[in-house]
Structure 1
Amino acid sequence: MPIPLLIDTDTAADDCFALLVGLLDPRADLLAITMVAGNVGFDQQVDNAFLTVGLAGRLGEVPVHLGARDPLVRPWLSASDVHGDGVGGLKRPDDGHAPSDEDAVDAMIRLAKEHKGELSIVAIGPLTNIALAVQKDPEFVANVGSLYVMGGSINARGNITPAAEYNIYVDPEAADIVFSAGFADVVVISWDPLTITDAVFDQERIDRIAALDTTLSRFFVRANQATFDFDSRVGIGGSSHCDSLTALLALDRSLATAESRYRLEVETEGTRTRGATVFDWQSDDNNVTAIEKVDGERFFDYMLTLLGTEPAA
């Protein structure tokens, strides 16, 4: 039976590819896409989401809900220096589709209640919407089946500051609320070491994707170019694909080859360490499972197959 899925996203580049996983993998029953302030301007993120849904041939089937346009207490911080507009300059067609009238947080709460204990939420942006749902509905935490979070680094380097990964840094207060809320199953996909070890596509991999010459592979190469260029300049060796990896892990946990339980705390006050994630391996009060290693070749092969398909118009 397909997994009831909700993807909470700040749609740009790899977020788009994560949406393709949710939209096209038959193991996923993607019930909603919820938008949260993150990578690029909010309205651009919404256009990017609809563009992706359209490329997957799913317009009108999966609703897009608008959520928080700002972090809980801090000004929004863009990552457009990394992603550009998130889709390589592509413009969303005038398709006539509009976001749902239902707020993202309300949709999240409703779907968790309707699919109590079964809904998997894939959070691949700042955790603002999730924190607002925790605060609004006392039953929300218990209703969610699993929460997959792309965020943080396991006591390692960040990608927006030396200490912090972008999604956590943008809204550390929200992250603190979420990780302290008591969700039964929180799975963390970290930036370092996991993403930059097992989820990087170098030029040879990008060339193999380009050679597919499908609608989706052409979209991937173009939308991914700014991220590839940035990540390559800072020494990563190719583009990083933590968001699509997170979406796939929500459907197929067997991709993970190593994971551990930790007590995860978020630094909200530090002058130089705002947004840092402290993974305590000695705690007896663990609150997350951190994926520490995945089968990177299998992940790439999955994406190659996904991007090689031509969705029905």
Structure 2
Amino acid sequence: MHPVIIDTDTAQDDCVTILLGLLDPACDLRAVTMVAGNVTFERQVHNAAMTLSVAGKLGEVPLHLGCDRPMMRPWVSAEDVHGDGSGGLSMEFDESVVDPKHGVDALIDAVNAEPGEISIVAIGPLTNIATAVVKDRSFASKVKSLYVMGGSNNGRGNVTPSAEFNFYVDPEAAQIVMDAGFKDLKIVTWDPVTLVDATYSREDYNNLCRFKTPIGKFFRRVCDATLDFNESVGVMGSTHPDSITLGALLHPELVLQEGSYRVDVECQSTLTRGFSAMAWDKYDLEPNATVFEKLDGQAFYRILEGILATETQPSREIEGL
């Protein structure tokens, strides 16, 4: 089993990622840490708690509140894409579901307790990870592997023509992470990997939604709004970049092609803020990341089917499910 912490801005596929972490036998999910991103901070914490609940795991996996804004910039949301990130679902929520330890301290303490053993899957802006790097300069050297969903491989963005959302929201944090010296930094991109390998047509999506389990019904509610938005902007399917990032860690056979790159994130330009420049071996620069170039989307689809078919007893009633 892989000891994992998921760092997330919970909406749509972030929820799916948490479910995968909770229910895949290959994953030992140690904690979930929250970072400002997709939707309001309060809303995404609620979404994470509901996800833990629908899997029957609320209270079993610590939920930590991390940085509620980017390091140097105002927060930018993706509510136009995801709505509230949960399809209007709600659950009775109280502070007892949240661990009092700050998310950054939880990350630092976990890797200090088990150096070289914990993998982190960062599927939101990289504010928490960068803050941990700044607070504890040994942090990067003690993380077994860091899997990041972010950027595009010199390709198109999804929040601007040049930038993917996670890198755009906090480009300074992303660059700190690129420079931190993580010994095993893996990146799943928006373009081309998500658009080619982790986007499922409406027909395939409807097939995933056939399961009448609590998790199956939850999946449809949290993903419907994003699919509708995607189709309105010419992305013809349900996108699952976050969950396939965890999938690539848990199931290395999903990785069909990868390359070593020097990755840097644009922080100065207004026009290309958050652009990820990925330099291959032609440029004689020291690589700092492995960038996945092709993943087995069909094999991952079958993994999702197994997760969605799993029967669970939700920890708390979820209204609207």
**Fold equivalence (TM over 0.5):** yes
For residues 141-189 of structure 1, what are the alpha-carbon distances to aligned partners after superposition, in whole Å with 9 as ceiling and x for unaligned?
A: 1110000000000000000000000000000000000000000000000
Alignment of 1:109-188 (within 5 A): 109-188=108-187
- Tell me, yes or no, if the aligned pair for 1:117 and 1:144 is still in contact at 8 Å: yes
Q: TM-score, normalised by structure 1?
A: 0.98
Structure 2: distance between partners of 1:168 and 1:60: 31
Instruction: Name whichever of 6-15 and 19-28 sits farther off.
Output: 19-28
Structure 1: distance between partners of 2:187 and 2:266: 16
Structure 1: distance between partners of 2:59 and 2:19: 15
Is it true that 1:290 corresponds to 2:291 in the alignment?
Answer: yes
Letter in 2 for 1:57: G
For residues 44-66 of structure 1, what are the alpha-carbon distances to aligned partners after superposition, in whole Å with 9 as ceiling and x for unaligned?
A: 00000000000111111100000
- Tell me, yes or no, if the aligned pair for 1:59 and 1:97 is still in contact at 8 Å: no
**C-alpha deviation, 1:311, in angstroms:** 2.1
How many matched pairs? 312
SS at match of 1:34: strand
SS at match of 1:292: strand
- Tell me, yes or no, if the aligned pair for 1:121 and 1:147 is still in contact at 8 Å: yes
Alignment-derived partner of residue 243 in structure 2: 244
Letter in 1 for 2:221: R
| Two-structure CA RMSD over aligned residues (Å) | 1.1
Instruction: Name whichever of 12-21 and 210-219 sits farther off.
Output: 210-219
Structure 1 stretches of at least 4 aligned residues deviating more than 2 Å after TM superposition: 93-98
**C-alpha deviation, 1:249, in angstroms:** 1.1
Alignment-derived partner of residue 4 in structure 2: 5
Is it true that 1:301 corresponds to 2:302 in the alignment?
Answer: yes
For residues 2-60 of structure 1, what are the alpha-carbon distances to aligned partners after superposition, in whole Å with 9 as ceiling and x for unaligned?
A: 11100000000100000001111111111110000000000000000000000111111
Alignment-derived partner of residue 318 in structure 2: none
**C-alpha deviation, 1:95, in angstroms:** 7.0
**C-alpha deviation, 1:98, in angstroms:** 2.4
- Tell me, yes or no, if the aligned pair for 1:151 and 1:165 is still in contact at 8 Å: yes
Alignment of 1:181-260 (within 5 A): 181-260=180-259
Alignment-derived partner of residue 87 in structure 1: 86
For residues 116-149 of structure 1, what are the alpha-carbon distances to aligned partners after superposition, in whole Å with 9 as ceiling and x for unaligned?
A: 1111100000000000000000211111000000
- Tell me, yes or no, if the aligned pair for 1:51 and 1:93 is still in contact at 8 Å: no
Alignment-derived partner of residue 276 in structure 1: 275
Letter in 2 for 1:118: E
Structure 2: distance between partners of 1:285 and 1:74: 29
Letter in 2 for 1:272: L
Structure 2: gaps of 5 or more residues: 315-321
- Tell me, yes or no, if the aligned pair for 2:213 and 2:312 is still in contact at 8 Å: no
For residues 261-297 of structure 1, what are the alpha-carbon distances to aligned partners after superposition, in whole Å with 9 as ceiling and x for unaligned?
A: 0000110011210000000003340000001101111
Instruction: Name whichever of 198-207 and 162-171 sits farther off.
Output: 198-207
**C-alpha deviation, 1:94, in angstroms:** 4.3
Structure 2: distance between partners of 1:284 and 1:75: 32
SS at match of 1:75: coil
Structure 1: distance between partners of 2:199 and 2:61: 29
- Structure-2 change in CA distance of 1:106 and 1:155 (3 Å): same
For residues 46-94 of structure 1, what are the alpha-carbon distances to aligned partners after superposition, in whole Å with 9 as ceiling and x for unaligned?
A: 0000000001111111000001010000000010000000010000234
For residues 215-234 of structure 1, what are the alpha-carbon distances to aligned partners after superposition, in whole Å with 9 as ceiling and x for unaligned?
A: 11111111101100011111
**C-alpha deviation, 1:96, in angstroms:** 7.0
Letter in 2 for 1:11: T
Alignment-derived partner of residue 17 in structure 1: 16
**C-alpha deviation, 1:210, in angstroms:** 2.1
Structure 1: distance between partners of 2:249 and 2:115: 17
- Tell me, yes or no, if the aligned pair for 1:4 and 1:115 is still in contact at 8 Å: no
Letter in 1 for 2:241: C
SS at match of 2:90: coil
- Tell me, yes or no, if the aligned pair for 2:54 and 2:313 is still in contact at 8 Å: no
Is it true that 1:38 corresponds to 2:37 in the alignment?
Answer: yes
Alignment of 1:50-129 (within 5 A): 50-94=49-93, 97-129=96-128
Structure 1: distance between partners of 2:62 and 2:23: 15
- Structure-2 change in CA distance of 1:304 and 1:95 (3 Å): farther
- Tell me, yes or no, if the aligned pair for 2:59 and 2:97 is still in contact at 8 Å: no
SS at match of 1:211: coil
SS at match of 2:115: coil
